[in-house]
Amino acid sequence: MNAGKGVYPRRRHPIKTVLVVIGSVLGVIGLGLAATFYVARRGVAPVRDGQALPGGVVQIKDGFTSAFLLDAGPGSAVLIDAGQDGEAKAIKAALAARNLRPEDVVAILLTHGHSDHLGGIAAFPNAQVMAMAEDVVLAEGREPRRSLLGSLIGASPTGVHVERVLADGETLTLSRLQLRVFAVPGHTAGSAAFLADGVLYLGDSADSNTDGTLRPAFWFVSEDTALNVASLKTLAARLDPSPGEVKYLTFSHSGALEGFGPLAAFAATH
């Protein structure tokens, strides 16, 4: 070593330093999101895969979410949402158990346009995809989610084409099925609930708790939490004149609740 010369540490390239900082920040954000999600989901009743509901309905667990298979008469079926699996393996298995094929699904009704409810749509070539007008661009990937998480993800085409736009208050007739459509904006602008054969499908607009009560949509992935609560209260008021019509409340990310009571109690206390 030459006299008077010290040994200096090698300088890190500026780009590498920036990447390390970005990686660290993203890691902290990821941990924060995971912790927030875990805390918010505590006490939620788990989905019961294969749960049978009135009218021959079955809830199908598909990863973190679920879909519902409805009997539309001989040789035909309707889906409420299409899960997150692009191959729709769980839904196809449920169809096969009824001697039905993917081609026998005549319609897919979307409770809203988030990607975890669209995954299996392409697996059902004869299904007419239906959604509320306000969520068409979201379902088709032409607009990002309008929530905190959505602002981080952005928009990308989904390959989904919504063929029929639904309206609040209309009644759909699909083979033997009749489904009433209710707008419940809040989780998304075009969130919908459907009522058929005594089962009220609430999608992500609410969840069930292990104590049998109902909670509103998870705030972190919702667009307007106050509107979500108001929509649930309005829905309860619209159904209150005939509460016996609702035998079960169902949710995409939690187990079903029996009767109209949990929705009525939620409306009375919020």
Query: Which domain range does residue 115 map to?
Result: 43-269
Say what the pLDDT of residue 40 is.
61
CATH number, domain with residue 252: 3.60.15.10
The verdict on residue 181 lying in a domain is yes
d(CA 235, CA 262): 12
Q: Most confidently modeled of 23-27, 120-124, 150-154?
A: 120-124
Say what the pLDDT of residue 32 is.
46
Q: Is the pLDDT of residue 29 over 50?
A: no
Q: Is the pLDDT of residue 130 over 50?
A: yes
Per-residue b or e along 127-155, where b marks 16 or more CB atoms closer than 10 Å to that residue's CB: bbbbbbebbbbbbbbebbbebeebeeeee
H or E element at residue 266: helix 261-269
- pLDDT exceeding 70 applies to what percent of the chain? 80
The verdict on residue 112 lying in a domain is yes
Q: How confident is the model at residue 144 (pLDDT cuts 50, 70, 90)?
A: low
Is there a contact between 245 and 54 (Cβ–Cβ < 8 Å)?
A: no
- Burial, 34: exposed, middle or buried (Cβ in 10 Å; 0-12, 13-18, 19+)? exposed
Q: Is the pLDDT of residue 263 over 90?
A: yes
The per-residue DSSP string of the chain comes to --TT----PPPPPHHHHHHHHHHHHHHHHHHHHHHHHHHHHTTBPPP-TT-EEGGGEEEEEETTEEEEEEE-STT-EEEE---S-TT-HHHHHHHHTTT--GGGEEEEE-SS--GGGTTTGGG-TTPEEEEEGGGHHHHTTSS--SSHHHHHH----------EEE-TT-EEEETTEEEEEEE-TTSSTT-EEEEETTEEE-TTSEEEBTTS-EEE--GGG-S-HHHHHHHHHHHHHHHTTSGGG--EEE-SSS--EESSHHHHHHHHH-
Q: Is the pLDDT of residue 57 over 70?
A: yes
The verdict on residue 11 lying in a domain is no
Domain total of the chain = 1
Q: Most confidently modeled of 24-33, 106-115, 147-156?
A: 106-115
Is there a contact between 267 and 232 (Cβ–Cβ < 8 Å)?
A: yes
The verdict on residue 53 lying in a domain is yes
How confident is the model over 201-246, as pLDDT tens digits? Answer: 999 999 999 999 999 999 888 999 999 999 999 999 999 988 899 9
Place of tokens 């049978």: 52
The verdict on residue 165 lying in a domain is yes
Q: Is the pLDDT of residue 191 over 60?
A: yes
Mean pLDDT of the chain: 88
Say what the pLDDT of residue 26 is.
47
The verdict on residue 142 lying in a domain is yes
Q: Is the pLDDT of residue 164 over 90?
A: yes
The verdict on residue 161 lying in a domain is yes
Interval 117-132 mean pLDDT: 97
What pTM value is reported for the model? 0.84
- pLDDT exceeding 90 applies to what percent of the chain? 74
The verdict on residue 34 lying in a domain is no
Q: Is the pLDDT of residue 176 over 70?
A: yes
